[in-house]
Structure 1
Amino acid sequence: MIRIIVRAKKDADAVKAMLRTFYQGWDIEVTTLKGARGEKGIERLHDVLSNEYYNIVLIGRQDKEFLKLDGMLGANTVIHMVPKEKIRNTRISQLASEFERARARFRLETQWNNEGYIFSIIKRGVRLPIEVNPAFDVFLENKNVVSKYLGIYCKGCDYLVFVRKFSGEHDIFCGKNLIAKIKIPDRGYVEVYEKRDTEGSLVNLKKTLENNIETLHVMEKISTKLLKNVKNKHDVYIVPWSGGKDSTTALILAVKVFGRKKLYAIYVDTGVDFPHNREYIEKVSRKLGVNLIIEEAHVDEELSKGRRFPTNEDRWCTKLKIAALYRAIDSIADSRDKVLIIVGDRDAESELRSKRPPIRDHEGFMQVAPIKMWSAAHTQLYLLQNNIPLNPLYELGFYRLGCYICPALRSWEIMIMKSTPLKNILDNLPFYKEFITSFREIGNNRE
């Protein structure tokens, strides 16, 4: 999935030492320019670039001339300079940090051009001033959600870019302009703490889709190559499917590589899921023509017996969901070593997931994560480009999906859940009123 390119052998030795220390099992290729600089170095660089990998060109300050090519070599190539004269002079811990930042650029680089966004390294528009931080993510939010819940209006901008940062902080862009900063705490109230009176830019979804066709094609090619590399080693292909954008993207990629005969999408129903999720997976599974298996996790039954709601400290529901998933898999396959699990994990979701290799052994299964390097915006657009609608919960404003009693629900989701039209549905579902009453909001009451 990743190829690192450096100028000389000693630089490659330093990178390999870093990979052995921090990235065991990642199977990252390292190649060199054979010491070449100047025009010969550029010529050699073109020779070693691959359209089947994310190419990360690591250079020291003495080779900064290569930076002029950054953004000019395709959607899958980044040129990243470390703050040392040579790669070989960089401590491996710092080299790992620089590698993380270089990887994050594929996910975070965002531009605006001709009434649409471009989520790509390729220089084709006005670059949004987004800090390159491996923990950040970018996604699109509907203008109606932004105006309804935040009171932020941007004329002519159908979709806004949200940059998810640390501790619930988000930057909001309308086209090329930063128009607001907000904080979404786990508990309490959403705060708009900086709102700028600036004229927005025209943005429409159709143009944004057109702007990203090339980039998504390149990313799809890299993801499908990863899947093809492990295809012949397994007989059964499983996609754990929540109905969210990431697992749905993984499912589409799996269909394109493995076909439908031996591919199974497994949806684990907790009994306290948003009804939108089950309706969505049933609708999309019919459209994709995939084998859909629904397995019950019986979280609702545990609650009926008097068990307390799951908490961040005791997510007993997760254990039930995993057990249900494995029951479903074991009912399909004779042996776990014949099973390949395709997950929708992305680096931006958590530090733990970002440290996992793209392919790994996990509890007796081989697991592959084809969209590790994607942003939330990439998955949103990929679904739409493949004529698959987004889960309607996203249109209501959700960033991530789960159960309606999930301890990971933040103040943002709670605000949406307590508003129409969702409130009218949830009020009639088991355990919801008890959960929402016990959900203590901490902060200034603005009502």
Structure 2
Amino acid sequence: MRLPNRESLGQRTIRRECTAHPLVRVVVRARSDADALEHALGRYVGLEARVETLGGAREPSEAEKLLDRGFNGLTIVMLGRDDERLRVLEGKYPFNYVFYVVPKAKPRNEHIHKLLEHYLKAKAVFRLSIGWLDEKRSYAIGGGRPLEGWEPNPRFDAYLATAGMRELAGRIFGVKPTLVLKRLEGEHYLYSGPRVVAKVKMSYEGLGVPFEKLSQAESDCASIEEQALLNREALEKLECGSVDFLKGLDADYVLVPWSGGKDSTAALLLARKAFGAKATPVFVDTGMEFDETLKHVDSVSQLLGVDPVRVRATVREALEAGASLPTVTDRWCTKLKVSAVQSLIREYARSGRVLVVVGDREAESPSRLERPAIIEHEDHVEAAPIKLWSAVHVQLYLALNKVPVNPLYEYGFFRIGCYMCPALRSWELNVMLRDGRLSYLQGKPFFRSFLDSRVKRQD
């Protein structure tokens, strides 16, 4: 596993006194273990995590008295093999308490870089703690029957399959999944209930989606609204942890870059709950947006009672002036979007402190896995309240709050961007070409050039 390189990020972690509520609390048995963890985590994650001890407690009954249940974020109880017996407490605590055993006698005996790996793995255990409830035909956060072939890798993510995903998978693979596990190198496991029914490969080149069908078994699944209600307690705990985290930060202005996608919408909801009307959404228009996204931003703005600040990133203008299409290795379009937001931030920063709340999740990419939850830039502080969440958490959270998602997800998209985004994979391209509701794209500027470039890269 590649470890975070703070120098390569070109950023500084925020000063320690700036927040009282980290996203993560790591609890170890003894002070010497805490010293080792603070040294390991402080170099990479800054204020994302706080380290505490059990005061040297060795017996479960003694440790239980000291391990309170009042922390709403993620608590990682990191044990060595000498203290593995404390793991019997695991069943007494809610899903946001992860008991993790380091393969050494004591955590302090582990190498510093290995301690960071264990920290990332423990967070993955939390994010991917999802099981299946047979009677409810629902997935459960922190409970239920174990899922076949499921493993908590820091780079994995999980999605509830939308109607569009099910329909397209049924046409291409002959199976209709209820859950998707995103693994590495474009590999995705499609689940029906607790079973893997197919393995597929999604690529940034061409239109092909190679697959291996494993089973004909299919399970009915409750609606996302029903699953959200069944998981209400866990979702409210997730919300409390993220809102506490944001409330620990102070600013005169709170800006939320809002793409109209699910993650930035969840970040906007949390920011509004933490800061009220002070939290202002910022929508960046590239001139290359899907019609669905533009309409969705307008409708959800009315629903939430917000008035987004709209800024222009001159992506379309650059293409019209002769710029080459963005690629996976040259995402110059992203630089233009970031520049547009940074210009707005500088305006606000002239008259006060600016907090930027982003919808980044660490399971999305290696770069986001490496990025701490709080970063101090020269003119603003950046905070990622859903950094620890899976896509399933986000989907259920929005459903619980009765906030509709961008229709593109219902068509079958996994992620939302511009209609010529280099991060769109072969799966999304199939949706764009097969779904009649998106036929208007054929007349959009540069869409045909984008498709031709993708097919050419496959050759």
> In structure 2, what residue type is equivalent to 1:200?
S
State the match for 1:378 in structure 2.
393
State the match for 1:300 in structure 2.
316
Distance in 2, matches of 1:81 and 1:251, equals 36
Which of 273, 283, 289 is the aligned partner of 2:289? 273
Could you say what secondary structure the match of 1:403 adopts?
coil
TM-score, with normalisation over the residues of structure 1? 0.91
Could you say what secondary structure the match of 1:181 adopts?
strand
Which of 306, 326, 329 is the aligned partner of 1:290? 306
State the match for 1:182 in structure 2.
200
State the match for 2:19 in structure 1.
none
Structure 1 segment 22-421 matched on structure 2, within 5 A: 22-23=44-45, 25-26=46-47, 28-47=49-68, 49-113=69-133, 114-121=135-142, 123-151=143-171, 152=173, 160-188=178-206, 189-200=208-219, 202-230=221-249, 233-260=250-277, 262-331=278-347, 333=348, 335=350, 338-421=353-436
Post-superposition shift, 1:150? 4.8
* Deviation per residue, 1:279-337 (Å, 9 max, x gap): 11111011101121221212112212222212223222122212222333445x25275
Distance in 2, matches of 1:125 and 1:92, equals 35
Distance in 2, matches of 1:420 and 1:356, equals 36
Post-superposition shift, 1:92? 1.7
> In structure 1, what residue type is equivalent to 2:87?
L
Q: In 2 relative to 1, CA 427–79 (structure 1 residues): closer, same or farther, beyond 3 Å?
A: same
Distance in 1, matches of 2:36 and 2:64, equals 23
Q: Is the 8 A contact 2:28 2:34 kept in 1?
A: yes
Please, which moves more after superposition, 369-378 or 300-309? 300-309
Q: In 2 relative to 1, CA 144–279 (structure 1 residues): closer, same or farther, beyond 3 Å?
A: closer
Distance in 2, matches of 1:402 and 1:249, equals 16
Distance in 1, matches of 2:435 and 2:405, equals 20
Distance in 2, matches of 1:347 and 1:139, equals 14
Post-superposition shift, 1:266? 0.9
* Deviation per residue, 1:189-223 (Å, 9 max, x gap): 10112422335354433431122111110010010
- The number of residues matched between the two structures is 434
Higher relative contact order (CA 8 A, sep 6+): 2
Q: In 2 relative to 1, CA 78–89 (structure 1 residues): closer, same or farther, beyond 3 Å?
A: same
Distance in 2, matches of 1:373 and 1:398, equals 22
Q: Is the 8 A contact 1:263 1:290 kept in 2?
A: no
Q: In 2 relative to 1, CA 393–11 (structure 1 residues): closer, same or farther, beyond 3 Å?
A: same
> In structure 1, what residue type is equivalent to 2:52?
T
Post-superposition shift, 1:139? 0.6
Could you say what secondary structure the match of 2:326 adopts?
coil
Which of 43, 50, 58 is the aligned partner of 1:21? 43
Distance in 2, matches of 1:84 and 1:355, equals 25
Q: Is the 8 A contact 2:164 2:410 kept in 1?
A: no
Structure 1 segment 3-22 matched on structure 2, within 5 A: 3-22=25-44
Post-superposition shift, 1:434? 2.3
Q: In 2 relative to 1, CA 198–21 (structure 1 residues): closer, same or farther, beyond 3 Å?
A: same
* Deviation per residue, 1:1-32 (Å, 9 max, x gap): 21111112222222122123333x22522222
Q: Is the 8 A contact 1:7 1:36 kept in 2?
A: yes
Post-superposition shift, 1:128? 4.9
Please, which moves more after superposition, 196-205 or 127-136? 196-205
* Deviation per residue, 1:46-96 (Å, 9 max, x gap): 33x433331100111222223333354012110011112222221222111
Q: In 2 relative to 1, CA 198–11 (structure 1 residues): closer, same or farther, beyond 3 Å?
A: same
Could you say what secondary structure the match of 2:421 adopts?
coil
Please, which moves more after superposition, 201-210 or 400-409? 201-210
Could you say what secondary structure the match of 1:171 adopts?
strand
Q: Is the 8 A contact 1:115 1:201 kept in 2?
A: no
Could you say what secondary structure the match of 2:43 adopts?
helix
Q: In 2 relative to 1, CA 427–341 (structure 1 residues): closer, same or farther, beyond 3 Å?
A: same
Distance in 2, matches of 1:199 and 1:400, equals 25
Could you say what secondary structure the match of 2:188 adopts?
strand
* Deviation per residue, 1:150-187 (Å, 9 max, x gap): 54556xx8x61100010110111111111111111221
Unaligned runs of 5+ in 1: none
Q: Is the 8 A contact 2:361 2:390 kept in 1?
A: yes
* Deviation per residue, 1:347-384 (Å, 9 max, x gap): 11122222222221125211111101000111111111
Q: Is the 8 A contact 1:5 1:30 kept in 2?
A: yes
Could you say what secondary structure the match of 2:414 adopts?
coil
Distance in 2, matches of 1:17 and 1:35, equals 19
Q: Is the 8 A contact 1:184 1:410 kept in 2?
A: yes
State the match for 1:438 in structure 2.
453
Could you say what secondary structure the match of 1:373 adopts?
coil
Instruction: State the 4+ residue runs in structure 1 displaced beyond 6 angstroms.
Output: none
Q: In 2 relative to 1, CA 168–334 (structure 1 residues): closer, same or farther, beyond 3 Å?
A: closer
Please, which moves more after superposition, 317-326 or 366-375? 317-326
Q: Is the 8 A contact 2:157 2:390 kept in 1?
A: yes
TM-score, with normalisation over the residues of structure 2? 0.89
